[in-house]
Structure 1
Amino acid sequence: MPLTIARTDDIDACRRLRRIVFIHEQGVSEADEIDDLDDQAIHLLATDDGMPVGSARLLTIGVTGKIGRVCVLKSLRGKGIGTELIKAAVDVFRSMPGITRVKLGSQTHAVGFYERLGFSVIGPQYEDAGILHREMVITL
């Protein structure tokens, strides 16, 4: 079975991936990773041969869609999974009436990745969970 990306109600699978990538790999504290927004979000799950390999969380704030908690297992990075997750997330927001832009907080090392997908940096560099980020936006 090839890579698939779809909306999921399996928040536990998404949280397991986020725990591996953010808490264990990147050293983000559990307090910074776990919040009360999962129940309000749309979750996308990337699976490869049926195994969860990446996820993203989508929230709406007024006319803005917000992509967050984007993660791909380290062993599978560089294979286009992140690109497909972001494209799928933007497509979800594009299908929502009234959403005119999509934003995300990119870790600074990933800015070029998001720029290649059409996002532009806005605002200054900031720290989130001990990691430098840049706010990025794309107009729909």
Structure 2
Amino acid sequence: MNKIRVRLADWVKDNADIRRIREAVFVAEQHIPVELEFDSEDQDALHFLALEGDYPIGTARLLADGTIGRISVLKDWRGLKVGDALVNAVITEAQGRDLKPQRLSAQVHATPFYERLGFKVVSEEFLEAGIPHVDMVRESHLPS
């Protein structure tokens, strides 16, 4: 396996790759309606792509208020720390832009993953697109 790297993506230029990944994960696997998956915030968000070699395998976005979202990794690459690389890259970018704290809505099953990366649950469980979620916040800096 090639080394995984994460880069800033361009919503227009990289749109096909971002859509392919998010549609595979959220629409096909999790049955989220496509009209809920893609929203008006995509246009202004900072997008990220995780790549193995030159092949995009994961994506995430960062909103201007420090909200991280749409974190998705293709099924065949899960469990290989791609999510860690992706989220850490987004956190680093957010901190560089002084976007603190970072926030996200996590699917409940994924809370241990985000807790390991410094996020804490700050809400009761709620349904988003029919899937149990919690709000999480990360206030501290990345470990050195």
Residue in 1 that maps onto 2:37: 33
Name the aligned partner's letter for residue 37 of structure 1.
Answer: E
Question: Which contiguous aligned blocks of 4+ residues in structure 1 show a shift greater than 4 angstroms?
Answer: none
Count of aligned positions:
136
TM-score for the superposition, normalised by structure 2: 0.91
TM-score for the superposition, normalised by structure 1: 0.93
SS where residue 127 of structure 2 aligns?
A: strand
Residue in 1 that maps onto 2:82: 81
SS where residue 132 of structure 1 aligns?
A: strand
2:121 paired with 1:124: no
Report % sequence identity.
38
Residue in 1 that maps onto 2:139: 139
Shift, 1:2, TM fit: 2.1
Residue in 1 that maps onto 2:92: 91
Instruction: Give me the whole-angstrom Cα distance separating, in 2, the residues matched to 1:33 and 1:54.
Output: 15
Instruction: Give me the whole-angstrom Cα distance separating, in 1, the residues matched to 2:16 and 2:96.
Output: 26
Instruction: Give me the whole-angstrom Cα distance separating, in 1, the residues matched to 2:72 and 2:100.
Output: 24
Give the alignment partner of residue 46 of structure 1, picking from 43, 50, 63.
50
Instruction: Give me the whole-angstrom Cα distance separating, in 2, the residues matched to 1:31 and 1:100.
Output: 29
Q: What per-residue deviation string (whole Å, max 9, x for no partner) do you get for residues 72-126 of structure 1? A: 00111000000111100000010013x2200001000000000011100001111
Specify which structure has the higher proportion of strand.
1
Residue in 2 that maps onto 1:113: 113
Which runs of 5 or more structure 1 residues have no equivalent in the other structure? none
